[in-house]
Structure 1
Amino acid sequence: MGKETSEKAKWWRFFIWYIPFCALWFFIFYWINRQLHHTEGILFYGTPASSYWVYYISAALYGMATFGIYFSIKQGIHQKSFLEFKKNALTIWSLVRFPILISLPFLYLAVTHALVVTDEKVQLSSFWRMKDAEYSWKNDVQSVAIDYSIIASTKTPHQRYFNGKYILHFKDGKKIDMWDGVLEGNLPAIKKIDQTIQKKDIPFTVRQVPSEENVERFFNNKDSEFIRELYSR
């Protein structure tokens, strides 16, 4: 029993040390992403879910490497032996070098992938494209389509949620859903973007209107007023 408890304690100590290294790398990736796309007068900044998945996986990998190097240094200092540190560090590098090298192109695509909305334009960096696409509100945005669906939760039986859609259609045939297609596409962000779009004289199309029952079910009093106005255009 004592041995089992000791093993559990070791695993707990491992995760307590390992998780901060992963979190550090995750925020480094996110910070780089924000710096690369920093623009004055940002109304909305969105990091799509595909980038977050790359951040999570890469952070776990880089966190493991950093964690191993840290303890190699600690062990070398404890034993007063640079050779001990070097041996441990080389062992760790031999284990992680190929996964790290494989991750680099995906990590590059992830940190350069974002959606930036300003008063003047929409800047879209697609995951598989090297060049950013920029759309002027005045010249390149054709229309906005408003839609929704009610989706059943995959985690909680009989629970449903409102899946709003706020789709920008561009004149080159491309489109992007600001509400559903971007991870940070929450209702406060949509309100801010909507205020800007209404000043640009861009036509709206409402594909379907939610019932009053659904509006009251999924939104509080403050948000329900905005939803009613949005879907009545």
Structure 2
Amino acid sequence: MGPLLDDARARGRTVVALSEYGITRVSRPVDINRALRRAGLLEVHTQDGMEYLDPGASRAFAVADHQLAHVYVRRAEDLAATRAALDGLPGLAELLDDEGKKAHGLDHPRAGELVAVAEPDAWFTYYYWLHDDRAPDFARLVDIHRKPGYDPAELFLDPVDPYVRVKAATALARKKLGMRYRMAVVPLDPSPVRGSHGRLPDRDEDGPVLICSRPDTVPGRVAATDVKSLLLRLAGLDGS
């Protein structure tokens, strides 16, 4: 990194280091889809003893993304029941409706009818099964395209499986040999997750960071929506 920065400085380049978000400490996973299922709003279909989310048949389901979750409600008449199912859910701080989404800049056509915001020490799981022996085949895999939400447990090896490292090594060996492999090593217990992001941080130091080699050009606090125009201006591409 040092030589790269030295070269940029020698060429008169402006260097910007930008993080997308800051990570804050969490300790409480919130099973928002399980709450919807227990209320009879979320439906699943079963295949080979495993349960899979059925969005088309569900009256409501959530797509979890760290400390936010978009709650999709099929019919307007189910909004009240969905709110009731999530009311008082431990770890849920806010449930934004149309006005709340607009106030937070989340009123996008693809946003959920409701947007759930976690409390500072909580985050949302995507889990919808009620018993681990009914979990879908992809639950123990790194499989971002089939899971209805982000799964930070993919960052960990299953701590309760004594053979998990052997399984991982075997899968990697099969991969190197060009063979099919299945890296089924992800835990179904979310407790190893200790950091998350998504809600607006309570302190500036918990938010994203922007560092510039020309600090006089950065006007202190920068809104996320202003970063693009700032970078274009620093690159001389804003037409000014």
Same-fold call, TM > 0.5? no
Larger Rg computed on CA atoms? 1
TM-score range, shorter chain: under 0.3
TM-score, scaled relative to structure 1: 0.23
Q: Which has the higher contact order (CA 8 A, sep 6+)?
A: 2
TM-score, scaled relative to structure 2: 0.22
Of Structure 1 and Structure 2, which has the larger fraction of its residues in helix? 1
